[in-house]
Every structure is written in C-alpha cells, then in structure tokens.
Structure 1
C-alpha cells in the first residue's frame, strides 16, 4: 500500500508517489524521462523523446472535443536536491521518503520535489482519467529547468501545434500567472592604473544588510551594499583625501549584495576625521533605511601604516563616478490595472571587484517588457564607455509579456470564480520562467501558469498542500472541460 493511497485526487497522488520514487535531481533526468515514455507507450499515445531527455506526449481529444484548439500542459522533470545535515539520502539512487503530516506531504530529511513533480502528476492524471473531458493535449515535460532551463531552450517547438499553454510550475494556489520577467547580465569593465604610496591603511566594511534575490525581493527596496559603498566613497572624497587600494562587494549578479569592503590609504594627520566621517555616514544610512534594514553596520578598521599600490586619482574618480551614476533597484512598476504592485523593470548591481587591471561591475537586468530591458542595458553601456570602459551583455533571457486581452486568462478567471466563489489573483512574477522561452518561440501563444500551494521549495522543509492539490486538480480539469468548441 502506497503512502499516499487514499488521498484525493487518487490518480494525481498515485502518479506523484511513483514520480517521487524515481531519482530525478537536476542533471539526472534519464530515469524520469524513460518513465514518461513508458507511460505514453502503455496508454497508446504518440510521443517524442528528444536527445536531451525532453518528452512530448500527444493525447487525442475526448469525444466531442475533436474540433477544439490543442492545449499544451507543461512542467519540468528535475528537482532541486537539498537535504538536512543529518540526512544520508543518496539523491542519485534512492527514492524520496515521503510522508504525510496534517494537510501536507513532505520528504523526510530532504526536499520534496513538488517543484515540479506535481506538474507531471497533474498532467498524467488528467489524460488517465476515463471521466475527463478535454481538447487535444500536448504534454511537454522538460529537463534541467533548475540550472538554466536547459530543456526548454533545447526543445524543438516546431513539434508543437498548440497555442493555448498552461504551465503547471506555480507554487501559489488562487493565482493565475500571466507574465514573467526577461533578463540579461550586464558586465562593466573599466581599466585602472596604480602607483605606489604610503599612508595609514583603513579597511572600510559595510555589512548587516538583508540582501535577497533580486527578482523576488527587489520590490522591498533593500539596501545594496555596493551602491552604498559608492555613496560613502563620494561622501569621503568631498571631505578628506584618501587613496583606494582595492574594493569588493557582492557574490552573485542575482543576489542583492549584503556586504562590501574597501581598503584605502589615508594621511596619518587625517585619521581621526576619517573615522568620524565613517560614523557620520553610518547614521545617515541607518536613518534612510530605518523601515527595512535593522542591522546595518558601517565601520573602518585601522590596519596600521602601509606602503601599497593605490589607484591613480583619475582612475579613482572614474570608479566613484560609475558607482554613483549607475542605475540600481526598481526602475518602473507595471501600469496595467491588474498588476500595479508588480515590478516591471529593475537592475541589481550584484558584483563589484577590482583586480590588477580593471574595476568590474556585474548587473542583473530584469524586465517583463523586452524593449525596456535593452534600453536599461544601453544606459549601462553609455555610462561605461563614457569613462573608457568596456560593456558586454550575456545570458539574454526572454520575457513573457503581459497581454491585455487573453482568452485563456479570462476563461481561467471565470472557471475559478464559478468553482470557488471568488476571483483568482491575476498576477506576474519578476523572475524568469520557462514560459518566457516558449512565449518567444510560439507565435500567438496564449499562456497562463497555475499550481497548488508548495511551501519552502528547494529546502528540506518543502511541503505540498493536499487540499490545495485537490482544488488545483478540479480547477485544471474544469478549465479543460470548458474548452469544448
């Protein structure tokens, strides 16, 4: 007897338990890909298995729906493999140890992989339900979403007929997602030169900032340690002479930097005033961010006298100029009536470094409007080239742009309201989804994303709501049932 046997909807949890027994961490999707192929063969459905492991299953319409538009149901096969320090689980060979507590399914000691195993289970259950009523379906299952959406990028979209697209990778019930951000990495590199100098060596440290993901948390207006360091260097430069030895801040382009530090040389006679200015600046920043940053710490450590290579004055001026003029944070909020709380365009200066030859900044640019993304990138290019630097774009990822008129969104809203007595929240996300890739490659596609409540994804505390899964199943089935032409 299966652990999930007896839960409703039976078929959904039957398939979810089977899927959970198959090791399918990112980069290890071979077995789950073969499982999906076996399913298609056993049910007599046509299918395509791509070289990378993607699987497309073609499901005929049920009786009376033959003339309806083809609908794509899509999710990804892979899961993020996280485990508790005490866990000895081998994600490459062992099934997940799934259990139930109250209204939730979890995996003992590990992540659950409901992101996005529940998508596979919902889709398979729909086409294995003799009472189901639906249009022609194309089930699209991609590999390795969690490390750059590799499967979605590789998928041959000419194999797809459908232009109604339901992605099943949302972790919040009661919402219908209608857009996601595109992104690119902007790399700014400015040549620098050094000369030898002696003085009192201070290490300036900025720490204690909250940070967070630049897609999910950028709307919270948290302080960026790299940008604050730029402000501090300008503040100091108008009051005392100093020379920069090195500067560093941030770890990844997607993370809002929590810490930054800068080594400088100061004349011995200016030491006391230098330390006082740091304290004054700390008070200023604490006041500015009093509502959303409670642990700010800005200080300097006297490292003693030192002879070291420092930046030439003109080089230092260019560095400070760039840090004080480069855009950062939320640039524009969405103006559509249903999404005004959603960030439309943003920028995060995630990495800051000096090395022997250059000063380097790396930015994550996001927008759900393609032209705005490139316009913001152009600003960085102009700024960088104005001071003699080089600008490069990398990892250009497409947006899923919001549509004012979406038949599928309106259908979902109507069906959800009829089922549950309230309208779903129509929203978007300021982060990249596989939907962006499919949106850019399927002309005229009408797309939504839905899913049940999943909490603490990508952690050993991940859990899937049983009752929410039932409601999502009823919602999905009802939307498909409503599509009879």
Structure 2
C-alpha cells in the first residue's frame, strides 16, 4: 500500500480509505469488510448495529451546539467491483488494493481502485471518528451488495432510521448534485444445446476481442463504447456465413454493471479454410478499429491456433443462438424526453458463456421509468427465447423520483454557488443509486447524492482526483454545519 496516499490531504479521509482498501470487499462476500466496519464503530464507543440484511448502522450524537438540528443519514456501500486486466496477477479475495499517486490522481495497479464507493465509506468513517467536526446528529449507514443487486438496501426495513435528510455519497462528478436515478433489473438467460464431434481434418483457433475501454454500464453507457460480447458475436456470425465454423466455447465479460472489455471464442473449421479465415479476421479488425477509433482506441482482435476441442455446438443451434444474441438490444434504448442529455433506458449484455452443452447470457437493464424498464427486459427475453433459452428476471429495484424543491437541494445548491462561484448541475443519473430503494420505506426523507470526481469506475482504469476530493470534502463538511433545525 503506497504511503503516498496516506500523506494526501485531508489525511484522515485518505488514511481511512487506505485502511478500507486493505480489506477485500467483493459484492456478496463482504464478511471481512463488515467485520472491519463493526469493529471500527465499536472502537469509537458509538452505538453500532447490524441488521438482518447485513448492513451496518452507526449512530453519533450531534456536536456541541448542534443538538437541535435535523438528524442526517450518511450512506455509502461497502462493496466494490472487482475487475482486473488480463495480465494482472491479483487475488481480490486475499489482497488489498495496490494504490499509487499519479499527479492529481490516485490509481490502482492493474485493478479497480474501489473509490466507488470507498471514498464515501471513508468519509463516513472520518465523520464518525472526528472529535472536532461540527455536525448534526448522525446516522451512518454502510450498505452491502450494492453493485450486484442492491440487496442491502432492499433488505433495509422501515422504522430503523430517524433521519429526515439523507446524504448519499456515491456519485462521481464534483459539480453535480444528483436528485434522481434509474431503476434496474437483472435478465438471465440459460439453456442447453446439442454438440457434435469435430472432424479429423479441422483446425482450431481462439478468437479474442480485447483492449476495450469498458466502464460503468450505467454512467458510461451514453459514451457508445464497444461491448466485447456484441463484437465477438458479430465476428462469429459474419464468419459463420462465409466459413463452415463450429463454436466450441464463447466466454465474454464478467459483472453485470461493467461494460465488458474482453471476450473470446474457440472455433474449429477445415484446414483448407484457415488462411481465408485469418485474412477475414484481419479485415474485420480494421473495420472495428475504424468504427471505434474514438471510444476504444486500443481495440484488438487476436486469432491464435489452439488445441482442437472435443466437441462444438450443433450447427442448427449455433445458427439460432448467434442470431438471437445479435438481436439482443445493447446500449441506449431511449433518451429522456424531459431531462436533457439523460439516458432513460438502456441494456448491457454483460456476460456470455457457452461451453460443454450449456450457455448463459446475463444482462442488466436500467430505466428511470419502471414500465419502460420492463418493456426493455421483455424485448431481451423475446430475443433469447427464440434460441430456446429459459429467461428469468430478478433483482428488480426502483428508480428515484426527483424532488427539485426539497430543502436540502436548495441548501446545497446555494452553498455550492457561495463556495465555488459557480452553479451546480442538479440532475438525475442513469446509474442505480440506493436512494430510491431506501426512500420506499422512508418516503418523507429528503435525499441528495454527491461526490468527488472519479473516472473509469468498474474498470481497471478507475481513478480518483485528489484536488476534487479536497473540494468535495470542504463542501461536505460545510453542508453538515448548515443542516437546519428540527421543525
């Protein structure tokens, strides 16, 4: 762990972030980080509890003179997206994130940094541990499993919280105040398929799409970045129309909330067609490089000879599957007609695995309009059912309806203008935030989300801007000072 990070200002926040990043914390495997947070709260002598969903709630009384102010809920999630470059040797279950300072940025070597939502978690820890900060009564909520289903927020029960204002610290532009977000639903298609034996005179290749930019499947979907699963599917379909290929394996992407950066397939075909296939792939690589020169400048298509698989997909299934996956929507489906530049509905074809007679396709569909979310999910279901897949919906969570007239929105907007001589961008975002879910049980609670500049979330390019963290921290701490009295 770099000592450079611990020397950054504000030191208390960065040291808490470094301590947090030393603890493995993948979604659905948060036992270590939950134990870490529980011990942290108890070591401070603060009321510390864990609910049935696994969330941790730590309460801190108001600082002197602030006892009559409204109770504020500070909320961040403890889990992080675990992504690494293919050539990075790293065990997320055992190792802490290897951070370093690069100019005005904190980065990680070959992996995600965990600034999403680690900066927020470290902020809560810093407020709780401080002996001289001015703040109202605090309820600090550390939720679990935000990144792969929001099950922590979904499991949070009503009646647990007393706060009337919620500050969610999970957005990634320091000039934005977010007051609404998209809901989401997981779409999972599974099935089986017949296989055939590979003829003796065939040769086999591994076809790989790699070097893509990737990113957050909500916040970055508007950028039009390439999806490795869709590009590989495109190559395989085009190749199957010119050559007698058989697919032995298709393996692409990983997490639903990350735009897939790499995908590979093992294919077999006659030795007499091998040279023509190599030429075809070279031509297609240039086509794709041209199409994605701006968004994915490092895109590479690799074709290497490998051992022949024992079996490949039956020709009839392969024909249907490639076309069903080709028809599966990906990217922006509809922009918001009410809010300028806001993606309203989208889908990410996140994971495709076809191997040994079984296959699965995993998608994450997002929308700020629940009926449109289900329409998009049904479109995906329809396409994949044509291949004989069994399609299920799960993990549905609601969006967050904006309340631009809320007192906290006015307070923070005016404070931003005062401190930075600029007007903040009050908006809704296309990512999934826990505000909408928590608000379902606490409908009277005013909510707002903000944070420092974080780039490349959900990818190994993730980085947090040091100067922006300082700006955010100044804004955050001043906001706590100005929370209005209870009514």
* Partner of residue 288, structure 1: 291
- Report the Cα offset of residue 439 of structure 1: 2.9
Contact 2:41 / 2:58 at 8 angstroms: preserved in 1? no
- Give the whole-Å Cα distance in 1 for the aligned partners of 2:335 and 2:40: 43
Contact 1:331 / 1:345 at 8 angstroms: preserved in 2? yes
Structure 1 residue matching 2:245: 3-state secondary structure: strand
- Give the whole-Å Cα distance in 1 for the aligned partners of 2:61 and 2:309: 73
Pick closer, same or farther for the CA change 1:133–1:353 going to 2, 3 Å. closer
User: Where do 5+ consecutive residues of structure 2 fail to align?
Assistant: 26-30, 89-93
* Partner of residue 224, structure 2: 221
- Give the whole-Å Cα distance in 2 for the aligned partners of 1:61 and 1:185: 43
- Structure-to-structure mapping, 1:12-411, within 5 angstroms: 26=25, 27-28=31-32, 29-30=34-35, 32-37=37-42, 39=44, 50=51, 52=54, 54-57=56-59, 59=61, 66=68, 70-76=71-77, 114-122=119-127, 125=130, 132=134, 134=136, 137-142=137-142, 144=144, 151-170=152-171, 172-198=173-199, 199-203=201-205, 205-213=207-215, 214-238=217-241, 240-254=242-256, 255=258, 256-266=260-270, 268=272, 270-298=273-301, 300-301=303-304, 309-337=311-339, 340-403=340-403, 405-411=405-411
Pick closer, same or farther for the CA change 1:301–1:160 going to 2, 3 Å. closer
* Partner of residue 450, structure 2: 450
Contact 1:192 / 1:315 at 8 angstroms: preserved in 2? yes
Contact 1:185 / 1:393 at 8 angstroms: preserved in 2? yes
Structure 2 residue matching 1:250: 3-state secondary structure: strand
How far does the alpha carbon of each residue in 1:416-466 deviate from its partner, in whole angstroms, 9 at most, with x for none? 223332111223444333334313332244310234567899999867557
Contact 1:229 / 1:260 at 8 angstroms: preserved in 2? yes
CA RMSD, aligned part only?
4.8
Structure 1 residue matching 2:427: 3-state secondary structure: strand
Contact 2:191 / 2:390 at 8 angstroms: preserved in 1? yes
Contact 1:204 / 1:298 at 8 angstroms: preserved in 2? no
Contact 2:194 / 2:317 at 8 angstroms: preserved in 1? yes
- Report the Cα offset of residue 376 of structure 1: 1.6
User: Where do 5+ consecutive residues of structure 1 fail to align?
Assistant: 86-90
Q: 1:468 aligns with which of 462, 467, 471?
A: 471
- Give the whole-Å Cα distance in 1 for the aligned partners of 2:444 and 2:61: 22
- Give the whole-Å Cα distance in 2 for the aligned partners of 1:177 and 1:147: 18
Pick closer, same or farther for the CA change 1:146–1:378 going to 2, 3 Å. closer
Contact 2:181 / 2:368 at 8 angstroms: preserved in 1? yes
- Give the whole-Å Cα distance in 2 for the aligned partners of 1:224 and 1:454: 22
- Give the whole-Å Cα distance in 1 for the aligned partners of 2:485 and 2:448: 15
* Partner of residue 439, structure 2: 439
- Give the whole-Å Cα distance in 1 for the aligned partners of 2:16 and 2:317: 61
Pick closer, same or farther for the CA change 1:105–1:222 going to 2, 3 Å. closer
- Give the whole-Å Cα distance in 2 for the aligned partners of 1:263 and 1:17: 49
* Partner of residue 88, structure 1: none
TM-score by length of 1: 0.74
Contact 1:194 / 1:312 at 8 angstroms: preserved in 2? yes
Structure 2 residue matching 1:257: 3-state secondary structure: coil
- Report the Cα offset of residue 48 of structure 1: 5.4
TM-score by length of 2: 0.74
Pick closer, same or farther for the CA change 1:69–1:386 going to 2, 3 Å. same
